[in-house]
Structure 1
């Protein structure tokens, strides 16, 4: 091989790449570049494609050593190349090597701050390392200062030895240290939080606090310097028990606490209440109008295929109506070691009578808890309490079937505590026919305005195609979460449809709908992977979907859509939607800070410096049903999806204020004959995306700030407020 010319190496490299032998092609390109370095610029793009293919091959083979060796070789040829750094960063992210992945993406952004993909994946790394609920916790003054007061009331100076279970950033340990206990050990199993806690306690001059990086359930008393007299903890999820608090306390009583050891909080209590909320129900149940369109019997319950419960900020829903009195489900004493042990081996039913305050439909059951920190200090997540703790959301039992009730005619619901781990709603297996589908499919179908727009456009598309080809020859592709366009075309008699659904429940649902319309299975195919569209099959009409449910552009679907338009659309065929505008607006959204930036005033200690290193630049998943914000500018067009270009856009200000984000949404024009439909509305199948300003920008009506739109080659984008002129 060493006797070959550079040209011969290139020819063989391209031949091997075409044959799928990326490993051989990679080595041949390296040899060619070594023989004749000036070839690097001409064949850089092809080399990077081969490198990417090789990485995925080696990942499938599990050959990590060769993968990293190839990475180092590639960087030797193209030092600092963003594609090389990005592909390895994504590999590290997929395999949970978060800090190493952070380094890769940070390197790219140091050289090119406009890189959209590096920014996106760096945000994914930060979200994986520190979940956003930590910011809610640390910014919740009610929770923080209630715990602080309870700890001051409980800790006996110079006598108590304290164990902080699930220490997080060490805040509760620092509260305890102010009370001068004999010793303090904080236990935190998440390494990045444990490392942060170690730095924070030193930054705040608490040198007596020891932080242990481990799951408390794997520890013995020797690991923490002997058994402790007081355990403090906040290991509670929205339904109180979901973080395994009972199992952790059981282990602590047996292994980590002294014989008369105490627990703070001393107890908890869980409550439920029946509610009616039409807007909330679009998250969990398919509405009757869409059932009728899909030929589904109205008595069939189409519901989410999710877990036992969902967590929701219930007070944000303005159409919510409380239909019953609140009722206590269970009360637990965290200092009763015997009761905790018993609950771990039982499935306990709690039959609760709910008394309707009025007649009507109960949509679902909401739940919340009280924490009794001491006999004198408590906190609550009760949604009607103005001074509630906002660190936790409320529980929605999404498997509850809507129920008609009569005033003062009580009905019973049953909740189960399953082996002390999860509290769930027990449902009657004979209570009507149930079909479960994914959250994205549910939201898509419950967006009545968008579904109506698609169905009306399908009629026009059908008539257009009939002018050029017999109906029995028409072949359709529909990449939507549910192929509503494709269904309308099948009903009209077209030859075939290709669609896709990732999870089996969605595939079965699509099949059931087609069967209800007597559409034979040989007229459609359902892929379980959108990459299966990338074949030789030609289509007369393609309805694409390039979004993920949280409002981002889906990079995989952008790539597939681009391929289909160029390679699989028959000349003169329809490619729908006709266009999609990206809209942007300067806003101030208080909750964006609450979920992404810690303020030391909310904790009483210096925590922000370390926690805010994990701030993200994008906050997606903003539900327009309940996202509260102040608009500071008129909306502006940032570009068109699939044709985005880097540009600087003037943004007219309509209200003085501090802009902390650019809020983005889409205007979808399904066909050239239908009006655009915006996604920044309640019940839209897409959430909003906020590109966060750091630092925040003071704007005024007499100034016109610029928005910088950055775009990568795959047409993914991000926006930045240009604060230089401010």
Structure 2
């Protein structure tokens, strides 16, 4: 009977619905109990069940579900259950595919684990879902610098470079090259040049997932997706006919860095000649057939010269034996990583890069430019012989007396018989130059008539210049250090650069070698920094323990009374006062704890983790005759940074806590205000956090350079191809590592105070502020450079834009320039969120 069946089905459905509601209710209750018991894994499982059974509850339980997910993910992370962690996030995103908070959190986990491409995708999605989500924006900006390096913008804006490549490719295609492979395509611009020139078949490969996807978008936007085959592969992995049907007649590439070979061009071209290119042109052949292989660029010539440059010197050589009263013992030798790489078995970049035309203080050529070597990219045997070639000697006659600080290298790319590109420091070019700092000499002075000697080789895909020495004109005496010192790099173990600091040590007759990052060496050379800290620390310690001995301390850096260490020793004999506790949680290598040890009976704690850093500090401590207990290394084995800010003993509090507030890049350190809030609770009465407060200063400028370095400026520089909208998705509003003293810009206003960050009273800080700025020169506002005055107390401060500063500066670059006249007044809306400063301009 139909009616009876209908009634049965209705009752059955009703029973199912009641059962579902009951199960949902019980699961919600169980989830709540689990949360109270901090059993996040079980709570998460209950919420998954609830949301799958009752999707209508998604909005009402969303916040609690997010909290549970994040807590459970933290547990899984700590247990190294990585696959389970990602499974949880994937389940969560199936339920909430458009939740920007979950996307951002997933990205954070991915980024911490080294999956930058994937992390960027989630951060990018979170920003698209909510453009005002500050955490996601900051995360995306930081990861964007990893994924799309800033030189992409500068290079794409270099019209001369683009036009020269286009003409060379057109020549090759006209002469018969109909099939083209673009190795390391980046945005795909060279592939599009080849297609525009008339190539029948164009293939392009790109290893970076982000750049590959960007190239796909660019090629499609220019209506060439059917004519250019993009491969998400390293060129070494391309196979015929699996990826491309047959050998090609032309390879185009720009996989060259400032040192020419650093991006692996030699290895990739050897493979291309052996597996992907047609045979090279014979000596006798009808050129019109074009059925032979060739490479653009065809060849390169490398040039070098010796220079004097104070800026390079202060980043690679410690220029003082005493810092704020602390003797840097002769038993420790400081070098930068480029020196250590000279004979290292590890593949470490043996040079730094600089735009010499904009280096602070300039440079002085000590020799004429000299040809270092040439390489023919169309000669397979020559390419193969490069790595096997024995080191060869090179000598440069000194034409100008001075201090030998570096060997500077650049090159000329011969794209074809007609077209060249030079990376010389005297050229207007998007390129920087390779800099090989000179280290390890007993005497760096040279004079006219002397000869700078060096050894050159190609190793580990790098051009290496090593064993630099000077031969004098009078007696031919070699002023280089002993050979065993020059080859110390063989014994230096370098840590992974991304892990932070690279230090090592070696005990021998020459003492201990300590390899520091260039910014750490610049910090050791920053005398005002250490003197300022010495005076500020002395003032606090004097106020906390005004004994007779402490009162005789030289807190202002002027010698008077007995030696401070003698004072400390006398104090320990006379009354043995309780020591005052000082904690230094500076990033990197810091001698501030040793400076503190000179200021009376203190117990200084350093948060340095690297064993070799600790060893070097111990040697310096011993050289200054400190008792062993003066310096301790605090919780260096713990991974949780927040634990570093705990107290040394349950009954003791810190007298001074030193925090690193500003990154050397010019940004505010991440989570520094959170650290300040914790630190404030751990201070002895009368104790201080250093710095006590920070003032952010900025000014309005017109700078075409900042625009060109921050975003591709329309289609004109890319010769009509539509690339800008796609790569500009990865532009960041703040440019870092700037030097305002040499930045090409026109100041349009006076410096203005933008923000105050109070570390002693972090709760009093405002996250936003409006600042009125008056225009003093007409022009276009394109950027707002900013820097910091770091106040250790009311009397002592450090300016991060000073010439002696180891810090660089940063700038907010506006999306659209603003035309202004003298007397105009603009309002800057300054926002501070975590470590991110954003500035918007209103009239």
Structure 1 residue 211 corresponds to structure 2 residue 250: no
Matched position secondary structure for 2:793? coil
360 and 75 in structure 1: CA distance in 2 versus 1, 3 angstrom threshold: closer
Map 1:418-433 to 2 at 5 A.
418=459, 420-426=461-467, 428-431=483-486
Q: Matched residue of 1:671: which SS?
A: coil
Alpha carbons of 1:190 and 1:551: their partners in 2 closer, same or farther (altered >3 Å)? Answer: same
Match of 2:578 among 434, 454, 472: 472
Q: By how many angstroms is 1:22 displaced?
A: 4.7
259-268 or 114-123, larger mean C-alpha shift: 114-123
1:417-496 maps to which residues of 2 (within 5 A)?
A: 417-418=458-459, 420-426=461-467, 428-431=483-486, 434-467=513-546, 471-481=577-587, 482-496=589-603
In the alignment, is the contact (CA less than 8 A) between 2:323 and 2:527 conserved in 1? no
- Two-structure CA RMSD over aligned residues (Å): 3.6
Equivalent-residue separation in structure 1 for 2:708 and 2:333 (angstroms): 37
Long gaps (5+) in structure 1: 35-39
Distance of 1:594 and 1:214 partners within structure 2? 30
The equivalent residue for 2:818 is 697
- Where do 1:491-530 residues align within 5 Å? 491-527=598-634, 528=636, 530=641
Q: Which residue number corresponds to residue 695 of structure 2?
A: 581
> Residue 37 of structure 1 corresponds to which residue in structure 2?
none
Match of 1:394 in 2: 433
CA distance in 2, matches of 1:33, 1:521: 60
Q: Is the 8 A contact 1:267 1:372 kept in 2?
A: yes
- For the pair 1:646 / 2:753, whether they are aligned, the reply is no
Q: Deviations over 1:501-552 (max 9, x none)?
A: 2444433332222122122443322244643413343212212222222122
Instruction: Give how far 1:435 is off.
Output: 2.8
Q: Matches of residues 248-327 of structure 1 in structure 2 within 5 Å?
A: 248-260=268-280, 261-288=293-320, 290=322, 293-297=325-329, 301-306=333-338, 307-317=349-359, 318-327=361-370
Matched, 1:413 2:436: no
Pairwise CA distance, 1:91 = 1.3
Bigger Rg, structure 1 or 2:
2
Q: Name the SS of the counterpart of 1:397 in structure 2.
A: strand
Q: Which residue of 1 aligns with 2:55?
A: none
* CA shift for structure 1 position 418: 0.9
For 1:8 and 1:152, the matched residues in 2 are separated by 71
Closer, same or farther in 2 for the Cα pair 1:676/1:400, shift >3 Å?
Answer: closer
Question: How far does residue 670 in structure 1 lie from its aligned partner after superposition?
Answer: 1.0
**What is the Cα deviation at residue 284 of structure 1?**
1.6
Structure 1 contact 587–663 (Cα < 8 Å) conserved: yes
Give the secondary structure class of the aligned counterpart of 2:202.
Answer: strand
Distance 1:419 1:302, change over 3 A: closer
Structure 1 pair 273–100 and aligned structure 2 pair: CA distance change class (3 A):
closer
**Which TM-score applies when normalising by structure 2?**
0.76
Equivalent-residue separation in structure 1 for 2:796 and 2:59 (angstroms): 46
Decide which moves more: 687-696 or 439-448: 439-448
Query: Contact conserved, 1:438 with 1:505, CA < 8 A, in 2?
Result: no
> Which 10-residue stretch deviates more, 621-630 or 250-259?
621-630
* Structure 2 Cα separation of the partners of residues 368 and 624 of structure 1: 25
- Residues 135 and 699 of structure 1: CA distance in aligned 2, closer, same or farther (over 3 Å): same
Matching residue within 236, 239, 262 for 1:220: 239
Partner of 2:479: none
What SS class does the counterpart of residue 810 from structure 2 fall into? strand
Secondary structure of residue in 1 paired with 2:485: coil
* Equivalent residues of 2:749, 2:776 under 8 A apart: yes
| Equivalent pair of 1:238/1:368 in contact (CA under 8 Å) | yes
**Number of residue-to-residue matches in the alignment:** 710
Task: Quote the Cα distance in structure 1 between the aligned partners of 2:736 and 2:85.
Answer: 33
Query: CA 1:629–1:22 in 2, change beyond 3 Å: closer, same or farther?
Result: farther
Distance (Å, rounded) in 2 between the aligned partners of 1:117 and 1:596: 21
1:657-716 CA-to-partner distances (Å, cap 9, x unmatched) read 2222222211111122x243321222312221212211333333333222222233xx43
Bigger shift: residues 2-11 or 286-295 = 2-11
What is the aligned partner in structure 1 of residue 729 from structure 2? 613
Q: Which residue is equivalent to 2:792?
A: 670
CA contact (8 A) 1:624 1:682 kept: no
**Counterpart in the other structure of 2:742:** 626
Q: 1:458 to 1:208 in 2, by over 3 A?
A: same
Match for residue 159 of structure 2?
141
Mapped to 2, the partners of 1:563 and 1:106 lie a distance apart of 32
The answer (yes or no) to whether the contact 1:586–1:632 under 8 Å persists in 2 is yes
Moved more, 154-163 or 366-375: 154-163
- Structure 2 unmatched ranges of 5 or more: 1-22, 53-57, 281-292, 339-348, 469-482, 487-509, 551-575
TM-score (norm 1): 0.88
Residue 100 to residue 359, structure 1, CA distance change in 2 (3 Å): closer
Pick from 809, 816, 821: which aligns with 1:688? Answer: 809
> Which of 410, 430, 445 does residue 404 from structure 1 map onto?
445
The question of whether the paired residues in 1 share the 8 Å contact of 2:323 and 2:530 is answered with no
Inter-partner Cα distance in structure 2 for 1:700 and 1:572: 50
Q: 2 CA distance for matches of 1:285 and 1:353? A: 23
